[in-house]
Chains A and B, each alone.
Chain A
Amino acid sequence: MTAPSVLPPPPPAPHDELELLLRLGDDRLVLGHRLSEWCGHAPILEEDIALANVALDLLGQATMLLRRAGEVEGKGRDEDALAYWREAVEFRNCLLVEQPNGDFAFTMARQFLFDVYAVVTLDAVSRSTNAELAAIAAKALKEAKYHVRHSGEWMLKLGDGTDESHRRVQGALDELWRFTPELFAADDVAARLAAEGIGPDLPALRAHWHELVHDVVERATLTLPHESSHTPHLNGGRAGMHSEHLGHLLAEMQIVARSHPGAKW
């Protein structure tokens, strides 16, 4: 039996905090980029404006998170170095956000699943023992609450709209569901961060997320996909194992910056 320690636990290695910042930042960078692809092509002018708003919030959050990641890393990389000069395997976003936009139902279902996830995780991170991180999360949480209202309303409109919209959004939910377990899977890094009170306790948040998602899905007259042992659980984004889609997204995003090394914009 070991004697009880009188010393506080050692602070987590900067590596863990960096990982957390990249995971949070890359989710928002990639999803903000995806939403910005809609700009000028939305079903209605009001939605061009709304989708751009959400994209702007997410990219603003990504900027803060990646800037902080660069500071924590201490190698002189700023948010642009991290966004524009990393390879796909170095990105730490979940697979859900990198999936291509598809139709409006697919974009909204993806957004809704993420927005609920953002609200529950940011709420936890806003109480982080790491003050910098808590402050960023608190600000982002306010925005995420608006986002989930927007995507949640669209889930209702599409689910309980016409037969076609119902079919499309149900299909999108069914298609995207396999990417949701990854959101709450805790690897060693996430487990250590949660134990230290720095990061969210992801597996513990899942039930609340599920409840919030279920409530809207039910009111939208939709059905949550059944999970069985046969359901493929896709994950790996947090470790850099992405879908093929991310490489194309980054090729487009990074092309100008990478064509001019050392240039200022």
Chain B
Amino acid sequence: MTQTRTAPQDDPAKVAEFEARIAAGQSIEPKDWMPERYRRQLIRMMSQHAHSEIVGMLPEGNWITRAPSLRRKISLIAKVQDEAGHGLYIYCGTETLGVDRAELIQQLLDGTAKYSSIFNYPTLSWADIGVIGWFVDGAAIVNQTVLAKASYGPYARAMIRICKEENFHKRQGYEIVATLANGTSAQKAMVQDAVNRWWWPSLMMFGPSDANSPNTAELIKWKVKRRTNDELRQRFVNLTVPQAAAVNLTLPDPDLAYDTESENWSFGRIDWDEFNQVLRGNGPCNRERLAARRKAHDDGAWVREAASAYAAKQRAKQASEAA
């Protein structure tokens, strides 16, 4: 990226023109002029998103080898594979802003880039796979449906494509949950336990409350974000409460109540201390997740070197044949 962290001063006339385009609902494309802050905010958001897809492969990948039927095993591998594809796709989208994938991955491995806090929680039973699909992919859809209208064209288009697959993942997850909820008493207990563990971390996925969200105002102004964290969180709760009731599962919040006036489900207080701890690297699996990524990267170094050495030899051979 750039040598310095301080953004250069943008030409005020260009900024005004840019903001007029945003206000007119135009899409910003890679070759268009954009304020340096806009570019940096997008790199931050998009790379965090890509990293989340990559780190997100780990908690679910943890159950691939133990999936209890061939059909479930196949659909779980396909889901984790989709996440790798999303990561790749968003990294490519981020490259349109003038950074390269290797640099972004290095930031993830250094621990200087963030990824979604949810993936720092452990997957402890098969039911977690269902509940992650239902809650985590469900929350991602709420987020990404709005991001699909983001002002930056490549990001918006990536979100449209990714949302389609996430919808499929969510349905698949909810179907696992419904199967377990209608299953044996041990299966019911397993799925209720998973719901209890994943509910609050899923609400935290939307990020800090608006009062404490440092980036929100600017992102909304530039139409990178179209809704605030709290608005999206509320939408997720409103969608999920009836889904839980439909399969006779309880959400672990005694304060959950329908408010007829606002037509929202109001919910209890989120433990922001826990959220901040996880963000600071002190969640249950932060170290394991980064260690797994670093190990894959380090163990793969000789493979990547071999692939480039081979490609260089092939190029040299072709050049000498052409000469």
A158 touches B72 (CB 8 A): no
Q: How far is the CB of B133 from chain A (nearest CB, A)?
A: 14
Q: Which residue of A lies closest to B305 (CB)?
A: A162
Report the Cα distance A49→B83, complex, angstroms: 9
The 8 A CB mask of B7-44 against A (1 = contact, 0 = none) is 00000000000000000000000000000000000000
Chain B residue contacts of A49, Cβ below 8 A: 81, 84-85, 88
B77 adjacent to chain A (CB < 8 Å): yes
B98 adjacent to chain A (CB < 8 Å): no
A46 touches B88 (CB 8 A): yes
Q: Which one of A55, A103, A168, A256 lies within 8 Å of B67 (CB-CB)? A: A256
Chain A residue contacts of B77, Cβ below 8 A: 36, 39, 52, 55-56, 59
Q: Which residue of B lies closest to A156 (CB)?
A: B310
Considering only residues 21-77 of chain A, those with a C-beta below 8 Å from chain B are 29, 33, 36-37, 39-49, 52-53, 55-56, 59-60, 62-63, 66
B69 touches A84 (CB 8 A): yes
A52-B81, A53-B81, A164-B306 known; A265+B299 contact, CB < 8 A: no
Chain B residue contacts of A44, Cβ below 8 A: 300, 303-304, 307
Q: Which residue of B lies closest to A257 (CB)?
A: B68
A263 touches B305 (CB 8 A): no
Q: How far is the CB of B142 from chain A (nearest CB, A)?
A: 25
B306 touches A41 (CB 8 A): no
15 A-B contacts, Cβ less than 8 Å apart?
A40-B58, A40-B80, A43-B300, A44-B303, A53-B81, A104-B303, A161-B310, A162-B302, A162-B306, A165-B303, A252-B65, A260-B68, A260-B187, A263-B186, A265-B69
Where chain B touches its partner, the secondary structure class is helix
Chain B contact residues, CB within 8 Å of chain A: 54, 57-58, 61, 64-74, 77-78, 80-81, 84-85, 87-88, 91, 126, 176, 179, 183-184, 186-187, 292, 295-296, 299-307, 309-310, 313
A262 adjacent to chain B (CB < 8 Å): yes
A48 touches B300 (CB 8 A): no
B310 touches A157 (CB 8 A): yes
B306 touches A158 (CB 8 A): yes
- Of the four ranges (under 10, 10 to 19, 20 to 34, 35 or more), the interface on chain A belongs to 35 or more
Considering only residues 153-172 of chain A, those with a C-beta below 8 Å from chain B are 156-158, 160-162, 164-165, 168
Q: Which residue of B lies closest to A60 (CB)?
A: B74
Q: Which one of A43, A56, A161 lies within 8 Å of B78 (CB-CB)? A: A56
A3 adjacent to chain B (CB < 8 Å): no
A42 touches B296 (CB 8 A): yes
Q: How far is the CB of A257 from chain B (nearest CB, A)?
A: 4
B81 touches A39 (CB 8 A): yes
A255 adjacent to chain B (CB < 8 Å): yes
Chain A residue contacts of B299, Cβ below 8 A: 41, 43, 103-104
Chain A residue contacts of B78, Cβ below 8 A: 52, 56
Closest A-B pairs by Cβ, 9 of them:
A43-B300, A161-B306, A165-B306, A43-B303, A52-B81, A40-B57, A40-B61, A256-B68, A157-B310
B70 touches A79 (CB 8 A): yes
Report the Cα distance A29→B301, complex, angstroms: 29
Report the Cα distance A185→B68, complex, angstroms: 33
A230 adjacent to chain B (CB < 8 Å): no
Q: How far is the CB of B136 from chain A (nearest CB, A)?
A: 16
Q: Which residue of A lies closest to B56 (CB)?
A: A40
Chain A residue contacts of B61, Cβ below 8 A: 39-41
Q: Which one of A37, A56, A66 lies within 8 Å of B74 (CB-CB)? A: A56
B304 touches A43 (CB 8 A): yes
A104 touches B310 (CB 8 A): no
Report the Cα distance A48→B82, complex, angstroms: 10
Chain B residue contacts of A255, Cβ below 8 A: 66
Report the Cα distance A202→B91, complex, angstroms: 47
Q: Which residue of B lies closest to A157 (CB)?
A: B310
A168 touches B302 (CB 8 A): yes
A83 adjacent to chain B (CB < 8 Å): yes
Report the Cα distance A16→B81, complex, angstroms: 37
B179 touches A264 (CB 8 A): yes
Q: How far is the CB of A230 from chain B (nearest CB, A)?
A: 32
- Beyond A52-B84, A162-B306, list 11 extra A-B contacts (CB 8 Å): A40-B61, A41-B61, A43-B299, A43-B300, A47-B300, A56-B78, A63-B74, A80-B71, A161-B309, A252-B65, A263-B68
A131 adjacent to chain B (CB < 8 Å): no
B64 touches A39 (CB 8 A): yes
Report the Cα distance A88→B37, complex, angstroms: 60
